[in-house]
Amino acid sequence: MSDVIVRKDELKSLVINKLTEANVSEEHAAVVADVLVHADLRGVHSHGVLRTEHYVKRMNEGGMNPNPKFKVEDRGKTAALFDGDNGMGHVITKKAMDKAIGLAKENGIGMVGIVNSSHCGALSYFAEQAAKEEVVSMVMTHTDSAVVPFGGSEPYFGTNPIAYGFPAKTHKPIVLDMATSNVALGKVLHARETGKSIPDNWGVDANGNPVTDPNLVKNLLPIGGPKGYGLALTVDVLSGILTGSAFGTNIATMYGDYKNYRRLGHMILTVDPGLFIEKEQFLNNVDQMIDELHELEPASGFSSVMVPGEPEQVKEEDRLNSGIPVPKSIYEYLIS
């Protein structure tokens, strides 16, 4: 299936138009479009504009609030709890990260939970948001059951992603954004959309057998077996149980259950590096680490050693100049 090459600003405008047609405000639509296009720029198409149609369908059927009224409660000097009123998760998470950054700058550390939210897009966006303010961050969220726990035959946890961001002095920040499953569900969906096969360690069919046809994937596998299972559990406790949100198999499904709010939880942790050492020393040391990693001899088949997030940053620079490839079917939806 052929791709259409679209410039960043045009793609954002197309997404904004679709969301405002679904009664989302211009302000909120612009935030969501920024998060989605940011993912596509970095080559993370599983969390890019592919998701627009799903969001619109969920709002049209009552499973997402296009006009939420957010609430925030301070919990002491270093913490807060946001209520997203079941609106678009991207917007409330961006606002919550702003709060967490402020808490870290004022008090050295911040912890902000979010309840009554929905899918918030690629977490790397929010980790970068903090890094631009020279704040260390960790962001996590849970999803509905799709991953078989180590030793189990039925799914319990979601792909439960986690991201972190470390600012640097002259280099771009180190940003890791990863699912605790072998792969994010969105990558399976993207493979279905583009007609591509997948590695046999991504997911299993209804009988628990590994498959390479994305259309046969019933459940996903945890990354690193028991290690990914343990990380998924940790994310669900912090994003779900600690915030008072649903958890495990109690979360409404993203695909199929369009009429009910998902009531997702997210958790954000932020630290001002100056809490422990001089901020300039921290930033310079991160630069030094990046330089030392770059100087290592690469393995056969690799041109260099890169830090987490760097391949995506390189792709982003290229696509800002050359444009973003969008599957034709998705582009046709956006212009319809």
What does each C-alpha distance from 242 to 91, 111, 249 come to in angstroms?
21, 12, 16
Instruction: Please give the backbone phi and psi of residue 115, each rounded to the nearest 5 degrees, phi first.
Output: -120, 165
Q: Is 149 within 8 Å of 247 (Cβ atoms)?
A: no
Active site residue 119: yes
Q: What is the DSSP string of 88-150?
A: -HHHHHHHHHHHHHHHHHHHSEEEEEEEEE-----THHHHHHHHTTT-EEEEEE--SS-BPPT
- Residue 245 CA neighbour count, 13 Å, CB half: 36
Q: Is 67 within 8 Å of 25 (Cβ atoms)?
A: yes
User: Which residue in the list 28, 45, 119, 171 is annotated as catalytic?
Assistant: 119
- Residue 54 CA neighbour count, 13 Å, CB half: 20
Which helix (H) or strand (E) covers residue 26, if one does? helix 26-41
Distance of CA 321 to the CA centre of its chain: 24
**DSSP E strands, the chain:** 3-6, 71-74, 79-83, 109-117, 136-141, 162-166, 174-178, 203-204, 219-220, 264-271, 324-327
What distance in Å separates the CA atoms of residue 244 and residue 275, rounded to the nearest whole number?
A: 29
Count of C-beta atoms within a 10 Å radius of residue 71: 13
Per the structure block, which two tokens stand in for 98?
Answer: 């702003």
Catalytic residue numbers? Answer: 119
